[in-house]
Amino acid sequence: MPQTETYTLSMGPQHPSTHGVLQVRLDLDGETILKATPYMGYLHRGIEKLLESRTYVQGVPYTDRLDYVSSMNNNLGYCRAVEELAQIEVPERAEYIRVIVAELNRIASHLVFIGSLAIDLGASTGMLYAFRDREKVLDLFDLVCGARMTFHYIRVGGVSADLPPEFAAKCDEFLKVLPEFMQEYEDILTGNEIFQYRLKGTSRMTKEQALSHNMTGPNIRAVGIPFDIRKVDGYGVYPKLAFDVPVGENGDNWDRYRVRYLEIYESAKLVRQALDGLPEGDFMAKFPKALRPPKGEVYSRTEGTRGELGFYIVSDGGPKPYRVHIRRPSFINLQGLDDMCRGMLIGDSVAAFSAIDPLMGEVDC
Amino acid sequence: MEIWNTIMEQGVLATASEILRWFFMLVFASELIVDIIMKGIGIGAILGVISVAAIVFTYAERKVCAFMQVRIGPNRVGGRYGLLQSIADMLKLMSKEDIIPEGCDRVVWALAPMLLFVPSALIYAFFPFDKGAAFADVNVGVFLMLAISSQAVLPFLMSGYASNSKYAFIGGIRTVAQMLSYEAPMVFSLLGVVMLSGSMRMCDIVEAQSQQLWFILMQPIAFVVFVISATAETNRTPFDLVEDESEIVAGPFAEYSGMRWALFFLAEYANLLSVSILFLPGVVWFGLKVLAMVFVFMWFRWTFPRTRIDQMLAFSWKVLLPLALANVLFTGVGIYARQWM
């Protein structure tokens, strides 16, 4: 009688499809996954601690390094928390500019998601198309703030500079070509039989499971819960703008892909409205250079590209925060990996990992 | 003028070999020695074809993939079009350090890449490159070719086992499952061709096509089944589960470097060429047809995502095999009906 035994396969921290330095230990029975345990911490830089050793305003560039493919959203999350703590009123023009850059960044981030999902499923051509189009967004950011990755554009009290005069035309152009390249993904990825087979019905999650893991962002919307903080909290000028929250039905990888795919269109809608409704005025609030927020604490959350991005800041009245804690959506979403992988095959683990779309800079913080 | 007539009658390669034979007969004046020399030249020519094919295909693959991915591809080494890129690749591979993984089974590990190259090269012995220009024109050519090509499973398993790496091991096991399941539809798809030509001799199959329609037109289903199973046999996307860099890094190749890895590479391209030749043997259009087929395989590779192992096996047994069997049935009925009419 032949004996079979289970074995452990260590995927990562050096592995082509772990999006950075994550280690996933898979307990396998043949090709079937019995348990998937993510081991993280390889990219830990102590950003929370670093934020405590800088003044409030100096902290912004560190948030760029959290989720480095959607830095604008991190800037926004941190600045909103500080503004709430110090009770700074942000000018309306700055709020609109923030919506424009944050939503453009969401588009760029979801394009990275589509690209990396494609390459994890072996379709390297799909990845290059997505990254080609992400370049267009990065070019816009280059125009706005001179940087392509770590922007440090959204500052406490507003934004660092007004939009350049040629931005509106360039952004308009981008929004015009967006449906074209989205159609291209539809042709090379969405319509592909193998792509659908790989995603449909795999790594299914129930609403209860997703809620018990406290998943947020596209991952919770994929299981059918329309939880979007832009709608729920209605921060900034989002209540004035019209957009839908796409939700999935089955909670499988296909829905996770579809939700993000549709969100790109919604973000484009938001950018269009914000661009059209952009009011005149200041782009920066007036507040003392040496910012000393009153004693107290604040938890401020925004809808990052990957879910609920929350900043918890305690102030002791001094120029530096006493304590900063960041609720990183990638970190929390990643805990669902085990549930998503059990009973699936090795190939599905890669798809599941990619569908959660964690970013190691944010997971390890 | 006389030579021109012979070429038209016998084909370029056969004429060339006749001239060579005549020349060597003048020099050595012994049938045995000349035979040995001629076989040696044949082996050299086949190895030359494989190496040239590998060089051309690496370049072609880079360019084809680049154009599909809205890039330019190699454009530095060897002029604007990067024509010497494959040479540079080769030099790089040869000058690389030969890393031997710790705890591996040294002998088996070192043998695997060489053994893999053997069946890939051996298949060429039966190929009719031109009229009468086959190295060994045996009467069970198709059968032998399939038998030899299925030997490629073993080296993959060997390297997977000997590398002392779990990725390689999973890759090795996958290879066995994949190659065994795709051998069956491949064999049955070729059976239709054998039935039509009434012979297993490769040269007869070529001959039959020049008299009747091309088999690609007479056996379209068999051709499709063949192309799909050939993609799986050569481990190319969407069936490249053996190397599968996003899941098991590079499977059996993961622990190889430098020239050893290059041998795997060479075998892959040799296989690619051989499966491209197989279904479309022709006389005049040989080169063009082969290149078209190779392009089709590259096209697959750079546009399709990868399947999952269970989907791939199910596809082979539940779709391809019944299709191939049905094709055999209908071919048989067709041949019978034609005889009867």
Examine residue A25 and state whether it is found in any structural domain, yes or no: no
Cα of A236 vs its chain's centroid, Å:
18
Please tell me the distance in Å from A10's CA to the nearest CA on chain B. 9
Query: Looking at the 3D structure of chain B, how many domains does it have?
Result: 1
The shortest CB-CB distance from A122 to any of B69, B71, B306 is to: B306
Q: Which residues does B contribute to its contact with A (CB < 8 Å)?
A: 65, 68-71, 166-167, 170, 237-238, 240-241, 244-249, 302-311
Measured from the Cβ of residue A355, the count of other Cβ atoms closer than 10 Å reads: 28
Cβ-based burial of A281 (10 A; exposed 0-12, middle 13-18, buried ≥19): exposed
Please tell me the distance in Å from A339's CA to the nearest CA on chain B. 19
Domain with B315, as residue range(s), is 2-340
| For helices A71-86 and A92-120, angle between their N-to-C axes, nearest 10 degrees | 140
Q: Which of A356, A354, A312 is nearest to A332 (CA)?
A: A356
Tell me if A36 sits within 8 A of A337, measured CB to CB.
Answer: yes
The shortest CB-CB distance from A16 to any of B241, B249, B311 is to: B249
Examine residue A32 and state whether it is found in any structural domain, yes or no: no
Mutate which: B304, B313, B319, vs A, most A CBs within 10 A: B304
Q: What is the pTM of this model?
A: 0.84
Q: Verify whether the Cβ–Cβ distance A125 to B71 is below 8 Å.
A: no
Residues 280-299 of A with CB under 8 A from B: none
Q: Which of A268, A229, A233 is nearest to A110 (CA)?
A: A268
The shortest CB-CB distance from A125 to any of B68, B246, B308 is to: B68
DSSP character for A117? H
Contact list in B for residue A192 (CB cut-off 8 A) is 304-305
Q: Verify whether the Cβ–Cβ distance A15 to B249 is below 8 Å.
A: yes
Q: Verify whether the Cβ–Cβ distance B166 to A9 is below 8 Å.
A: yes
Q: Verify whether the Cβ–Cβ distance A194 to B302 is below 8 Å.
A: no
Contact list in B for residue A124 (CB cut-off 8 A) is 69, 302
Residues forming beta bridges with residue A154, ordered by sequence position: A159
| A350: contact with B, CB 8 A cutoff | yes
Query: Looking at the 3D structure of chain A, how many domains does it have?
Result: 1
CATH code of the domain covering residue A146: 1.10.645.10
CA distance B270 to B157: 19
List Cβ<8 Å contacts ≥24 apart for B157-160.
B158/B108, B158/B109, B158/B111, B158/B112, B158/B115, B159/B108, B159/B109, B159/B112, B159/B113, B159/B116, B159/B252, B159/B253, B159/B255, B159/B256, B160/B251, B160/B252
Torsion of CA B136, B137, B143, B144, to 10 degrees: -10
CA distance B240 to B279: 21
Please tell me the distance in Å from B79's CA to the nearest CA on chain A. 25
CA distance B251 to B170: 7
Tell me if B184 sits within 8 A of B319, measured CB to CB.
Answer: no
Domain with A237, as residue range(s), is 43-364
Chains A and B form CB pairs within 8 A to the count of 82
Examine residue A63 and state whether it is found in any structural domain, yes or no: yes
Name the stretches of chain A with pLDDT < 50: none
The shortest CB-CB distance from B311 to any of A9, A124, A197 is to: A197
| A185: contact with B, CB 8 A cutoff | no
| A117: contact with B, CB 8 A cutoff | no
DSSP conformation letters of B260-306: HHHHHHHHHHHHHHHHHHHH---SSSHHHHHHHHHHHHHHHHHH--P
Mutate which: B308, B309, B310, B318, vs A, most A CBs within 10 A: B308
Contact list in B for residue A16 (CB cut-off 8 A) is 245-246, 249
CA distance A200 to A195: 9
| A126: contact with B, CB 8 A cutoff | yes
Tell me if B262 sits within 8 A of B90, measured CB to CB.
Answer: yes
Per-residue tens of pLDDT for chain B, all 341 residues: 555 665 556 666 667 777 777 787 777 777 787 778 777 887 888 788 788 888 888 888 888 888 888 888 888 887 778 788 888 888 888 888 888 888 888 888 888 888 888 888 888 777 766 665 667 777 887 888 888 888 888 888 888 888 888 888 888 888 888 888 888 888 888 888 788 777 777 777 777 766 666 667 677 777 888 888 878 777 777 777 777 777 777 777 777 877 788 888 778 787 777 776 665 555 456 677 777 778 888 888 888 888 888 888 888 888 888 888 888 888 888 888 878 77
| A187: contact with B, CB 8 A cutoff | no
Examine residue A117 and state whether it is found in any structural domain, yes or no: yes
Examine residue A28 and state whether it is found in any structural domain, yes or no: no
Cα of A19 vs its chain's centroid, Å:
14
Please tell me the distance in Å from B331's CA to the nearest CA on chain A. 30
Which stretches within chain B are classed as H helix? 2-10, 12-28, 31-68, 85-94, 106-122, 141-149, 153-162, 166-197, 202-211, 215-218, 220-233, 245-248, 258-279, 286-303, 309-315, 321-340
DSSP conformation letters of A68-88: TTSHHHHHHHHHHHHHHHHTP
Which stretches within chain A are classed as H helix? 47-52, 60-64, 71-86, 92-120, 124-145, 167-185, 193-199, 207-212, 218-222, 229-232, 253-276, 329-334, 337-341, 346-356, 360-364
Q: Which of A43, A62, A44 is nearest to A52 (CA)?
A: A62
Q: Output the pLDDT for position A312.
A: 93
Q: Is A212 helix (H, G, I), strand (E, B) or coil?
A: helix
| R_g (Cα) of chain A, nearest Å | 21
CA distance B340 to B270: 43
Cα of A207 vs its chain's centroid, Å:
21
Closest-CA residue of chain B to A30: B170
The shortest CB-CB distance from A121 to any of B167, B248, B305 is to: B305
Q: Which of A99, A94, A74, A103 is nearest to A287 (CA)?
A: A94
Contact list in B for residue A17 (CB cut-off 8 A) is 245-247
Show the tokens assigned to A253. 């990888």
CA distance B191 to B330: 12
Contact list in A for residue B167 (CB cut-off 8 A) is 9
CA distance B230 to B235: 8
Please tell me the distance in Å from B306's CA to the nearest CA on chain A. 5
